[in-house]
């Protein structure tokens, strides 16, 4: 695979979190209930994990050039820190190895403070 | 909320068994759903093939229907995703849900839920594992 890894940046809003709750049916109070979330250990609402992950997914599909990922693609994701409304998350390539007919990637999604919110690895067959 | 399934579940760690089948459900995957997950979340659009972000949504929908709701107070820890055949939109998928593992690490309880997603043509489109830091640990009761 010769294409460059495209970094993707996305600003996260409460409106977007509410949209994701509607799409997914995940109305966990920590995401959508301002009062309950303020009383939680997070001190306010946080985004659903897949919202921040979207920057990584968009980078992968940008790299592979399709709407879906190629069959045989393997992805591992670790959610490291919460993402809050007002944060901006972007995906950054850390390591890349093209060998044996596959591309291996190590990617971090970081917020505007440089905090790693997601660490991800992908192996994509050619 | 449009779904009839309850929003949140208080199933405890002890009530789940490794290897337990939670059930199999079908879910539609429309071009509009796929389109709203192809770019910035929620931005309207249509897509003929499901982008990867569709699958976490299917996990949530399947959990809600097979577990009696999304775990109340659970925290998403990890995903492991093995992608298969591209999923064409406009049809339904079958989602088989089971408990693949559960364990305590660094005094925190985790449950691994497995999702086997098959397209209308019978081809496996995704094998997914969602690792959730569970709101209750061994011997603990659900919060009232």
Residues in B closer than 8 angstroms to A54, CB to CB, are 37, 40-41, 53
Express each pLDDT in B77-96 by its tens digit: 999 999 999 999 999 999 99
| pLDDT for A4 beyond 80 | yes
pTM of the model as a whole: 0.94
Q: Please list the helix, strand and coil fractions of chain A in percent, rounded to the nearest 5, in that order.
A: 30, 30, 40
Tell which residue, A69, A68, A80, has the closest CA to residue A105.
A69
Q: Is the dihedral of CA A10, B48, B4, B113 positive or negative?
A: negative
| CATH number 3.30.200.20 given to A9-125 | no
Cβ atoms of residues B100 and B113 within 8 Å: yes
Q: What's the pLDDT at B144?
A: 66
Cβ atoms of residues B64 and B5 within 8 Å: yes
Mean pLDDT along residues B49-71: 93
CA distance B52 to chain A (A): 6
Work out the percent of chain B whose per-residue pLDDT is above 90.
Answer: 78
Express each pLDDT in B3-52 by its tens digit: 555 678 889 999 999 999 999 999 999 999 999 999 988 788 999 999 99
In this complex, is the C-beta atom of A60 within 8 Å of any C-beta atom belonging to chain B? yes
In this complex, is the C-beta atom of A61 within 8 Å of any C-beta atom belonging to chain B? yes
Q: What's the pLDDT at B2?
A: 47
The residue extents of the domains of chain B are 8-133
Choose among B49, B57, B77: nearest Cβ to A68: B49
Three-class HEC string of chain B: CCCCCCCEECCCHHHCCCCCEEEEEEEEECHHHHHHCCCCCCCCCCCCECCCCHHHHHHHHHHHHHCCCEECCCEEEEEEEEECCCCECCEEEEEEEEEEEEEEECCEEEEEEEEEEECCCCCEEEEEEEEEECCCCCCCCCCC
Give the CATH superfamily of B8-133: Hotdog Thioesterase (3.10.129.10)
Residues in B closer than 8 angstroms to A9, CB to CB, are none
Picking from A16, A21, A28 by the largest number of B CB atoms within 10 A of its own CB, the best residue to mutate is A28
In this complex, is the C-beta atom of A20 within 8 Å of any C-beta atom belonging to chain B? yes
User: Could you tell me how many CB contacts below 8 A there are between chain A and chain B?
Assistant: 118
């Amino acid at each position: 695979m010769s294409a460059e890894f495209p970094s993707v940046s996305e600003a996260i809003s409460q409106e977007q979190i509410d949209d994701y709750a509607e799409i997914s049916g995940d109305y966990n109070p920590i995401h959508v209930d301002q009062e309950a979330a303020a009383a939680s250990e997070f001190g306010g609402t946080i985004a659903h994990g897949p919202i921040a992950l979207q920057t990584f997914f968009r980078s992968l599909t940008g790299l592979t050039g399709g709407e879906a990922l190629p069959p045989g693609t393997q992805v591992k994701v670790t959610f490291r820190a919460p993402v809050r409304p007002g944060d901006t998350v972007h995906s950054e390539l850390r390591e890349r190895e093209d060998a044996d007919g596959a591309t291996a990637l190590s990617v971090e999604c970081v917020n505007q403070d440089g905090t790693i919110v997601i660490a991800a690895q992908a192996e994509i067959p050619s | 909320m449009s779904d009839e399934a309850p929003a949140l579940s208080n199933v405890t760690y002890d009530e789940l068994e490794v290897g337990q089948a939670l059930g199999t459900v079908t879910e539609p995957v429309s071009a509009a759903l796929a389109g709203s997950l192809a770019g910035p979340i929620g931005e309207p659009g249509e897509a003929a093939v499901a982008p990867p972000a569709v699958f976490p949504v299917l996990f949530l929908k399947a959990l809600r229907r097979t577990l009696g709701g999304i775990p109340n107070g659970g925290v998403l820890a990890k995903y492991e995703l093995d992608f298969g055949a591209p999923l064409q939109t406009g049809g339904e998928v079958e989602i088989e849900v089971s408990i693949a593992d559960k364990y305590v690490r660094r005094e925190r309880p985790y449950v691994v839920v497995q999702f086997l997603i098959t397209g209308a043509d019978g081809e496996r489109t995704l094998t997914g594992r969602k690792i959730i830091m569970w709101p209750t640990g061994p011997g603990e009761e659900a919060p009232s």
